[in-house]
Structure 1
Amino acid sequence: MMHLTDWTNSVVEVLNKPAGSPQLQALSAWLRRLSVVDHFVLFVYEGSYRPLSLFNTFSAEQRCIFIDEYQTGPYLLDPFYLASQPSQAEGVYSMRQLAPDQFYKSEYFQTYYHHLGLSEEVGFFMNLSPDTHAVLSLMRRRGRMKFHDDEVRQLESAVPVVNAAVRAAWEASRKEAVRSVDDHDHRVQEAFANFGRGLLTDREREVVRLLLQGHSSLSIAQKLRISPATVKVHRKNLYEKLGIGSQSGLLALFVQAIKGDASGSLVNAGK
């Protein structure tokens, strides 16, 4: 833990850096003095635009999966994204606080976290405007200890500094370039909203969405106010209609749908 003088001097050093990447790089180095962190990524979720990554510390291979692939649509299943829609109260939250009960066993986790060797994540949540929200994620690789409560509390003391740096980066980004109309994600969001339409009942589509997000049968039953046995019947029926036998097959169909092959993949799945 830093002494007060060191803390003050290091904060001044961070905030004196130019807004954007230089300041965020200094911020990440400063946060590493408070807690063990393997990777950082800052996403801004603005209205119907696809997520914008303002900063990350991934390798090129990791960026391909966790940023490029993520931005094509799988972000719609991310607990941090879901928590920001509508806005989460500003502060520091762990993935374990926000994720569904079976998230760590879900196909989404296996594909977008486990594949990169990541196992733990906390996020600084910030509301930049009524429809724009930012999350700075701090990630630990597999094998590390989880973030303990005292670490989270120490990170909470850094909220004002993180907020200042992230807001400055966002303002600098807006001045540099206006986001293109092509960057809107209406098609992906509509594909997600319509996933399974025409093959599945409305209730089955609700079950699909919750399964993809990482909810167990019990959690789905509680959310939909039905029995776990009824959830299992719905799951069996929707698997048969979609021509799949597992959640990995369900995730594969979902990814096809949000990438523009929604009609073909789902129609063929039912045959």
Structure 2
Amino acid sequence: MAGLPNIAESQLAETIRRMGRPGFESALLAFFRRIVAPDNLIILAYRDAGPPQVLFRQTELPQVFAQLDDTYLGGAYLLDPYHDLHVSRVAAGVYRLTDIAPDAFQRSRYFTEYYRQTTLIDELTFIAYPVAGVSLNICIGRDAASGRVFSATEAATCQRIAPVVVALAEQHWAGLAAETGPADDVAGDLIAALREHGIDITPRQAEVALLILRGHSTASIGLRMGLSPQTVKVFRRQLYARCGLSSQAELFALMLPLLRGS
């Protein structure tokens, strides 16, 4: 009987063999390369307190992760759509950035000041929960190295293999440290940090500020907060007036250093 071209299946078998052992992450990346050919891979463990833990990263272009340690882990992760999925405790599975990003994400300062600099043009992330309070993000991306997004067929392939990837991740990282201590109060920390600068804002205004920075439009903020667009605009005007700002760029410049201290 002639052998079948089962290279991807053979690589999956090797990934299974390395589960719980050194080389698992590299074997998993090799499996992904066989089926959807990503340009990069990063694996992050999110907890409710503090920045995510980087478990693995691999890329052909250094620029992709050039600002990861300083900017992203330094506080910008709080504005990332995938961090929002962690807070929401979405079901395990695979999520595409274009499907879960806020409606004005590509116009946000987070996107223009950080995300665009990575050269990432598409991202698919497998989310698993290996231990209580920890969400594991296995992010495969396309960047300037290939200059192309994942095709519909590739995205569908990731949907099909998601249960397998999630099961592997939950077993391999079952020994991760669980969540300890109280969850970050991002809005509260932002209010306190601004107060130290002589600026007083309300909890509602702080929530509006964070949603603006995450890339939500006025309509989207209204839906998230249960407010009318007109009320959101009032909160935005009050926020800008109290902070002495006139643009989202100024809001980002003021808030990001404060988020780094949260």
Alignment of 1:6-45 (within 5 A): 6-17=7-18, 19=20, 22-45=23-46
Is residue 255 of structure 2 the alignment partner of residue 254 of structure 1? Answer: yes
Is 1:241 the counterpart of 2:242 in the alignment? yes
* Partner residue, 1:94: 96
Work out whether residues 128 and 137 of structure 2, in 8 Å CA contact, stay in contact via their aligned partners in 1: yes
TM-superposed CA distance for 1:206, in Å, is 2.3
Identity of matched residues, %: 28
Structure 2 length-normalised TM:
0.82
What residue number does 1:218 align with? 219
Once structures 1 and 2 are overlaid, which stretch shifts more, 209-218 or 224-233?
Answer: 224-233
Over residues 22-42 of structure 1, what are the superposed CA-to-partner deviations in whole Å (9 max), with x where a residue is unaligned? Answer: 211121122122113111111
How many residue pairs align between the two structures?
254
How far does residue 145 in structure 1 lie from its aligned partner after superposition? Answer: 3.6
Instruction: State which drifts further: 215-224 or 37-46.
Output: 215-224
Question: 1:17 Cα deviation (Å)?
Answer: 3.0
> What CA distance in whole angstroms lies between the structure 1 residues aligned with 2:186 and 2:221?
24
Paired with 1:68 and 1:169, the residues of 2 have a C-alpha distance of 28
Distance in 2, Cα, partners of 1:187 & 1:218 = 24
1:106 aligns with 2:105: no
Aligned to 1:269: none
> Cα 1:161–1:20, aligned 2, differ >3 Å: closer, same or farther?
farther
Question: Partner amino acid for 1:159?
Answer: A
Which residue of the other structure, out of 81, 84, 109, is the alignment partner of 2:83? Answer: 81
- The one-letter code sitting in structure 1 at the alignment partner of 2:44 is F
Secondary structure of 1:200 counterpart: coil
Aligned to 1:65: 67
Indicate if the aligned counterparts of 1:27 and 1:165 stay in contact, CA closer than 8 A: no
1:54–1:169 CA contact under 8 A, matched in 2: no
User: Structure 1 residue 215: deviation in Å?
Assistant: 0.4
Amino acid at match of 1:132: V
Q: Quick check: 1:191 aligned with 2:204?
A: no
Q: What is the alpha-carbon distance in structure 1 between the residues aligned to residue 183 and residue 114 of structure 2? A: 20
In 2, Cα distance between the equivalents of 1:154 and 1:254?
A: 39
- CA distance in 1 between partners of 2:200 and 2:73 (Å): 27
In structure 1, stretches of 5+ residues that fail to align are 263-271
The alignment status of 1:132 with 2:121, answered yes or no, reads: no
Aligned twin of 1:203: 204
Distance in 2 separating the partners of 1:223 and 1:164: 32
Q: Which residue of 1 aligns with 2:120?
A: 118
Residues 9/82 of structure 1: CA separation in 2 closer, same or farther (3 Å cut): same
Structure 2: 5+ residue runs without aligned partners?
Answer: none
Alpha-carbon contact 1:244-1:250 (below 8 Å) kept: yes
Amino acid at match of 1:63: F
Contact 1:92 1:152 in 2 (8 A): no
What is the CA–CA distance in structure 1 between the aligned matches of 2:186 and 2:228, rounded to whole Å?
32
TM-score (norm 1): 0.80
State the superposition RMSD in angstroms.
3.1
Letter in 2 for 1:77: L
